[in-house]
C-alpha cells in the first residue's frame, strides 16, 4: 500500500511539473454552511485538474520511464495530465477518450502532443480499448486511478492542504475511481489520524458509495451524470481497499445539486469548476447533515468544462431563480392588443429579450393570436405579479 513516504517522494518528483495550488478561505461559503470552509483550487492546476499530479508521478517514476510510449483511457482530465506529463518527459502519449467527450478536452489533449482516439461510450469501455492498444503497440499503460504511483501523486494534495492550513479538521473530496481520495486520505491520516475525510459521489455514478456501504468492491450496472470526470462504473481494487481502510464516510449528491454548485462557484465564489470539480462543493452545500461543523477543506478537483454546458446551466439557473421567464400569451387578434401586452410588461419592470408573434399556430382558436415573450425578471414573485396583471386583462397565460 502507498505510504506517506511515497507521497513525500512524489511531492519532490513532480515539483517542477505541477504547481502548488492555493487553499482559499471563502467567507461566502462559510456563511452559507455555518462553519469555516477553505477551497483547494485544483481547478487552476496546470492542465485544469489534479490529474496531472498522479500522471506526472507515474510517468516520471515508473519502471519504463525512458522513451517508451504511453497509453491511457480518460474522459478528459487524466488524458490531459498524461499528455502533458509525457510531453515533459519526451515520451509519446496515446489517449482513448469516449466518443462523447467534450470537444475542449479532446482538443486540449491533442495540443499537448498526444494522439487522441475517440472510441467507446464511457471510461470503462475506453479502458478495454486502451488496454488492447497497449498490448498491440507495446505501450506502457497509465491507469487513471488504480496504481500506487498515481495514488501517491494525488496524495500530494493532502500534504499541501495541511501544510497550508494545519487547523483543517475535515476534507471533502470528489470520488470517481478513488485515486484522489485514496491519496489524500493516506496523506492526511498519516499526519493526523483524527482528520475526517469524506468522499462525495454523484448519485448516478455511485460505485464507491455502494462499495463503502457493502464493505466490498461493488460495480455499478450503468453510470449517468453530468460529472463526466467521475463517471466510473468500477472503482479500483487498490483504491477500494484504501477507501475502506482510511475514509470516514462516502455521501452522494444529485446532478441537480452538482449543477447548482457549479453556478454557486461561478456567481458567488467567482471561479469556474466542472461537474466533477463541483461535486465536493455540492456535498458541502446540500449534505450538511452528513458533515461536521469544523474547519473544512473542499477540493475543487477540476475546471475543464464545456462552455456549451455552462451556457445551459446558466440558463437553467436563471429560470430556476426567477430571473428569466418565457410566457406564452393568447390575445384577441385585434389591432392594439399586442401593444397593450407590452405596456403591461413594461409597467411591471420586466425587460423583453425576444418576442414571437404567431397567428397561425396549431390549435390556435379563431380570432386569437399567440405571443411568446422571453423576459428578464427579478425573481419568482416578480413573475407571479406580472402573470397576475396580464390575467386581469382577460389574457390567457402559460409559463413555459
Q: How many CA atoms within 13 Å lie on the side-chain side of 194? A: 6
| Alpha-carbon 368 to chain mean position | 47
Which triple of cell numbers denotes residue 273?
469548476
Geometric angle at alpha carbon 315, from 314 and 320, rounded to 5°: 95
Helix (H, G, I), strand (E, B) or coil at 246: helix
Quote the CA–CA distance of 120 and 101 in Å, as a whole number. 10
Do 60 and 14 meet the contact criterion of CB atoms below 8 Å apart?
yes
Pick from 295, 302, 300, 397: which is nearest to 344 by CA? 397
Quote the CA–CA distance of 307 and 315 in Å, as a whole number. 12
Pick from 230, 238, 184: which is nearest to 209 by CA? 230
Do 102 and 75 meet the contact criterion of CB atoms below 8 Å apart?
no
Burial category of 96 from C-beta neighbours within 10 Å (exposed 0-12, middle 13-18, buried 19 and up): buried
Do 129 and 119 meet the contact criterion of CB atoms below 8 Å apart?
yes
Return the DSSP state at 146.
S
Do 78 and 101 meet the contact criterion of CB atoms below 8 Å apart?
no
Do 348 and 398 meet the contact criterion of CB atoms below 8 Å apart?
no
Catalytic residues: 51, 301
Amino acid at each position: 500500500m502507498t505510504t506517506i513516504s511515497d507521497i513525500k517522494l512524489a511531492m519532490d518528483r513532480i515539483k517542477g511539473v505541477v504547481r502548488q495550488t492555493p487553499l482559499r478561505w471563502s467567507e461566502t461559503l462559510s456563511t452559507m454552511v455555518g462553519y469555516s470552509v477553505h477551497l483547494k483550487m485544483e481547478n487552476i492546476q496546470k492542465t485544469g485538474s489534479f490529474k496531472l499530479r498522479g500522471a506526472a508521478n507515474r510517468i516520471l517514476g515508473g519502471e519504463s520511464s525512458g522513451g517508451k510510449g504511453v497509453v491511457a483511457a480518460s474522459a478528459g482530465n487524466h488524458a490531459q495530465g498524461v499528455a502533458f506529463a509525457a510531453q515533459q518527459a519526451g515520451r509519446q502519449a496515446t489517449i482513448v477518450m469516449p466518443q462523447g467527450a467534450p470537444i475542449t478536452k479532446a482538443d486540449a489533449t491533442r495540443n499537448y502532443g498526444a494522439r487522441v482516439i475517440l472510441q467507446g461510450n464511457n471510461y470503462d469501455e475506453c479502458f478495454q480499448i486502451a488496454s488492447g492498444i497497449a498490448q498491440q503497440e507495446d505501450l506502457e499503460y497509465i491507469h487513471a486511478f488504480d496504481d500506487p504511483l498515481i495514488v501517491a501523486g494525488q496524495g500530494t494534495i493532502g500534504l499541501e492542504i495541511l501544510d497550508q492550513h494545519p487547523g483543517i479538521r475535515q476534507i471533502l473530496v470528489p470520488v470517481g475511481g478513488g485515486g484522489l481520495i485514496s491519496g489524500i486520505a493516506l496523506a492526511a491520516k498519516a499526519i493526523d489520524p483524527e482528520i475526517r475525510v469524506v468522499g462525495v459521489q454523484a448519485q448516478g455514478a455511485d460505485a464507491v458509495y455502494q462499495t463503502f456501504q457493502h464493505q466490498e468492491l461493488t460495480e455499478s450496472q450503468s453510470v449517468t451524470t453530468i460529472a463526466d470526470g467521475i463517471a466510473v462504473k468500477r472503482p479500483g481494487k487498490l483504491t477500494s481497499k484504501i477507501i475502506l481502510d482510511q475514509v470516514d464516510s462516502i455521501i452522494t449528491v444529485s446532478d441537480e445539486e452538482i449543477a447548482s454548485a457549479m453556478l454557486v462557484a461561478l456567481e458567488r465564489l467567482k471561479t469556474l469548476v466542472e461537474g466533477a470539480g463541483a461535486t465536493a462543493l455540492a456535498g458541502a452545500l446540500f449534505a450538511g447533515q452528513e458533515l461536521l461543523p469544523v474547519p473544512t477543506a473542499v477540493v475543487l478537483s477540476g475546471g475543464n468544462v464545456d462552455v456549451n454546458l455552462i451556457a445551459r446551466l446558466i440558463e437553467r439557473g436563471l429560470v430556476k431563480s426567477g430571473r428569466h421567464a418565457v410566457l406564452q400569451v393568447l390575445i384577441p387578434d385585434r389591432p392594439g392588443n399586442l401593444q397593450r401586452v407590452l405596456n403591461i410588461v413594461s409597467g411591471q419592470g420586466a425587460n423583453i429579450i425576444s418576442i414571437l408573434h404567431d397567428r397561425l399556430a396549431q390549435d390556435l382558436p379563431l380570432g386569437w393570436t399567440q405571443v411568446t415573450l422571453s423576459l428578464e425578471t427579478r425573481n419568482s414573485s416578480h413573475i407571479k405579479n406580472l402573470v397576475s396583471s396580464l390575467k386581469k386583462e382577460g389574457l390567457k397565460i402559460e409559463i413555459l
